[in-house]
Structure 1
């Protein structure tokens, strides 16, 4: 999986020691960054303390990894449930002992606890040596634009380092698919359906299509989706919609030469076996990348007028607003330099922006340029500059 970079072309100033209501926008943002790093430092220290506490409370019974009553001690001091305390202790010990580089990065404020937890949880199927190889590869590219992209990178390298373990984990998870329900406040209830990602996206697209068809002024689209779902479950006949799902698979994987991971747009890395299953009954489209994984060419389908849009969506993958995770398939193709201002419709002047961030650009002082195809430079209202590049595809190994 090619890595996406997000870096600021500016210096971070130390926070000023003045009242918050006297700060300007840049001082507020610098203080937020400082607080975030301080919180990460505290989270790392807490993990080290919990790991040390586990060392001081060695188990006396066989088959246990923590002394009886130890979680209750922590729970009492931190006013939490003993089960929650046991989970925190176990995770802290794993972080400190199995993933020392991740703990160091957390302590330095280079990542936050959400990312550290993802690293710990997603590498749990690996040996200690494999887990450290994964953390080395992932941490080399920093925290990414948002936690979702960080998790995608971890998942990719977990699959790459041990394809068989990752595939066993997927099959186990598939066997646990289920529909669960729970009561909500105000007399409502909620159903949660656990499916494979291509099934979940197909089901959502079907419901969303039908909801748009029955939309009325007195019902929101969200309400219509809920009503349509209930109609489908209760047996009403409805037409089906053809669902398009972008699955990127290295040709070497399809040919059985390697077990390199594939990827579902909007979901992230998948095992080679899963990608091959999806490819058996699918429309194929050739995507040519350079040696770095940057999209160079997307083969045409039936409608040539959509070729540029397909190219941009496959190149950008998600809405290009830093931090936004909405997929490019559900985003708009926007001109970087507006068409009304003389901008041309070309690969170096178009990009994917979701509707929310497209509107934000029109309604705010955010600026955006594209000095190179796919490279977007954002200027915030506080005059801070961020440069982003699309997340690259993993280049072929030959």
Structure 2
């Protein structure tokens, strides 16, 4: 019996059902092909790890030799997978761990009983289980995963692993807490994620305190707005902004278009570690329309940029310690036109990511010293560098030219790199700009302890050759701005 009501027509005709059935069948075939490709990739990467181990089997320093062999192989495969060698080395380690330590999981994955998401969960949680009990854990885990989505089984598998672990959770937590750290992950549009790995109770406490402080600010803002509406009071300066000079532009503008305050709480750097944000009429809330997320982020920034640690081992007696006086040190490359306000092009936070022109001008205005760079009028290559403070000019020049590690794909900032002789000094290579380049410690070792080779061309261009003969050209990072002239400057003419 054919239904003509709205529900029946919405379910589609028999032809639609047949078409959907065909799509499902095709999807099943695609899923099988993707699974087979992923399994093949994992086994290939695991084989790469075993090759590195076999290459170093006869070396006297086996551990270091294996690491160098693995780096060289990872760098070779990175060119094929279009990824960084660090990423490939991590994937090789993960693949080898999966193939060698989780055979039951691999077999279930190849048979189509579980999907890649299940494999990730089992491998992630299975590291808690002793090697001698891991096979039993795998069998239980695979049975739990069948027919369920990965996110649904994660916590259940974690509880199973915890019960199978021979050491107490408290003991393992104390050991894990020793690995606490803070790191920065660059993002788009001049933003970054500041990631702190902390004990859960500390992390939750920090988030709770920031939330409570943000709510207090927003509640006080509402009360101030209400009081202002009753008295008809306005900002004496008429600017509608409450941020302190020197820091307000670092976080952009609020919804009203005015510079947003940071913490939004009145006080000087010596008062609870907060920056003074009071407006001309004493209010901290004029023109403040920030959300609670924005206020949380601004309070977080205030406390870390201007606050002092509760425990300062440099403090003596009743005097303040030195930790509160320490300020961040960053290297920014910005064009003269941007500094003069002639354009709004981004500046370069060396080795990291672009930053907006307003922030660059703000930082430049507070800088105590400058470095002047002379670039080639056509190619823009850095030729000379001078400074008004004592320094190693050649080091500064190369940092300005390279800006980051010069190994293909690496973005480690030059300020954290090592100057390397392209032709080793022991082989007659001169200590000159034409024979020097910045390499991070990792890729400095790859150059010296693997079969990777490099030569330097004029202008700072590096040509890398991998052990299998693949060639990668690494040009010096382009300058932020380059000037051209109709005629070359005459002898004795100033460079700028």
TM over 0.5: no
Q: Please, what TM-score do these two structures have when normalized by structure 2?
A: 0.37
* TM-score where L is the length of structure 1: 0.44
Give the structure with higher Rg (CA): 2
Q: Which has the higher contact order (CA 8 A, sep 6+)?
A: 1
